[in-house]
Structure 1
Amino acid sequence: MLRSEINACIEHAKELYASIAFKLPEWAHYSPQQWDAEPDLAKWCRGHQMGWDVTDYGEGNFDKRGLILFCLRNGILRQPGEVPYAEKIMIVGENQECPWHYHKVKMEDIIVRGGGNLVIELCNLTEDGQMDRVNDVHVRTDGKLNILPAGGKVVLEPGQSVTLPRTLVHRFYGQEGKGPVIVGEVSQVNDDLTDNYFFDCDARFTKIEEDVAPIHPLWNELPSA
């Protein structure tokens, strides 16, 4: 992606978060120069994978496959004394896909905080690590048990949520005609470096072409020392 596209995504996300009065932490608005002046905070946020994240999954077609994320809080896997939870706020466009994937460690609640509707498609995982296209899926939305056919979907409206157990395979996208979706995630510790298992994409992070200066660095661009 072009840096100018990433900047535009971040500005778009900030506008949508403000539309539902969702407040980001002060450092969400830091420039690269402000981060340079806060080395301890920068090291903490980078180590905890906290901050801005914009991805096109390495495919160069953000409107089709992409996601804007902001991680507000997070622990570090297998580190004594770390918090055991994480929280994110995301933007999903109409028909913009987060592709099929699962997590081995993380359980998560996906919550629609505002905007349009979120469509989530679900499959079980076979013992040999493939998508189970045969057996029904059991999943709870706001505590209510749903039994879906393999590949079945739930549609979440604002205020609704789904609980995704470990290894439940899922993809999601904004429902057509409903506008962009503001999506929250409350989960166990999130590790995008080791705990994402995708089926048909190769890259979790985006290769960036620097055509303009960044307004805010992504979390993996923060100074580490």
Structure 2
Amino acid sequence: MKRSEINALIRDAKAFYESFQFKLPRWAFWSPQDWKGKGETEVVHNQLGWDLTDYGAGEFEKKGLILFTIRNGNLASGHPKTYAEKIMIVRESQICPMHFHWSKTEDIINRGGGNLVIELYGSTPDEELSTEPMTVMIDGMPRTVAPGGTVTLEPGESIFLEQGMYHRFYGEAGKGKVLVGEVSSVNDDNADNRFHEPQARFPRIEEDEQPLHLLCTDYPDYI
């Protein structure tokens, strides 16, 4: 992805969050220069902040995600925080690809906007898609879903995903962008994503202009 494209998407994301009066921390708006000398912070060590990916496909509108990690622990360092929170924007028909987590459990929450469609499978011992139905919790109420079945979350609704539950999601066509929250155990995007089809988690960036704000993967290069 070009940095100019990333900068434009971050500008759009800031406006979308603000339209819901969802406030980000002050450092979300820092320039790269503002980060100088801030390397020894929880923000940097735990990869908080802006995160954007096209999963290596180069077609962000079709397969991609922009999000902001607000809080997180760090299993490798023994950080005492045992939970994480993200706020995401999912566009109409924009796919977050099929994956599960070995460690993380999470609530995915439709905070507003359009509808969020989640496609679900269980996993087999060899980490393939299961052909068995599964029971998931929707706002604390059980629902049985056939393999490959979908759950559509309207604004205010949420789903709980356990370890090993394959899921992919996208915004329902014709309903608009979705403001999606995630509340989870500690998040580790470097080691805890099992994509059913191998793909990159973070984008390769063509530096055609200076960053508006740093991505969480930019910290080592700029701080």
Select the residue among 174, 182, 189 that pairs with 2:171: 174
Aligned to 1:76: 74
Flag structure 2 segments of 5+ consecutive residues without an equivalent.
none
Aligned to 2:29: 29
| Partner residue in 1 for 2:46 | 48
1:65 equivalent in alignment to 2:63: yes
In the superposition, the TM-score normalised over structure 1's length comes to 0.95
Q: Given the alignment, which residue of 148, 152, 157 partners 2:154?
A: 157
- What is aligned with 2:187? 190
Deviations 1:100-131 (A, max 9, x none): 00001000000011111100000000011101
8 Å contact from structure 2 (residues 73, 79) kept in 1: no
- Seen in structure 2, the aligned counterparts of structure 1 residues 67 and 81 have a Cα distance that, compared at 3 Å, is closer
The equivalences for 1:102-117 within 5 A come to 102-117=100-115
Q: CA deviation at 1:200?
A: 1.8
Q: Distance in 1 between matches of 2:79 and 2:87?
A: 24
* Partner Cα distance (1:137, 1:11) in 2: 39
Structure 1 SS opposite 2:35: helix
Quote the offset at 1:46 in angstroms. 2.3
Alpha-carbon shift at residue 37 of structure 1 (Å): 4.6
Using the TM superposition, name which of 83-92 and 193-202 deviates more. Answer: 193-202
Letter in 1 for 2:200: A
C-alpha separation in 1, matches of 2:46 and 2:2: 25
SS at match of 1:49: coil
Aligned residues: 222
CA distance in 2, matches of 1:118, 1:96: 10
Asked whether 1:138 is paired with 2:139, we answer no
Q: Is the 8 A contact 1:57 1:65 kept in 2?
A: yes
How large is the Cα RMSD of the aligned pairs? 1.2
**Deviation for aligned residue 1:157:** 0.8
1: distance between equivalents of 2:79 and 2:162? 24
Q: 1:127 and 1:223 mapped to 2: Cα distance?
A: 37
Contact 1:69 1:89 in 2 (8 A): yes
On the 8 A contact 2:92/2:171 being kept in 1, the answer is: yes
What secondary structure is seen at the aligned counterpart in 2 of 1:131?
Answer: coil
What is the identity, as a one-letter code, of the residue corresponding to 2:44? R
Aligned residue number for residue 213 of structure 1: 210
- Pairwise CA distance, 1:77: 1.3
Residue 201 of structure 1: how far off its partner (Å):
3.9
TM-score by length of 2: 0.96
Q: Is the 8 A contact 1:89 1:182 kept in 2?
A: yes
Structure 1: runs of 5+ lacking an equivalent: none
Partner SS for 2:118: strand
Match of 1:4 in 2: 4
Sequence identity (%): 53
**What is the CA-CA distance between 1:80 and the residue it aligns to?**
3.2
| Partner Cα distance (2:27, 2:195) in 1 | 31
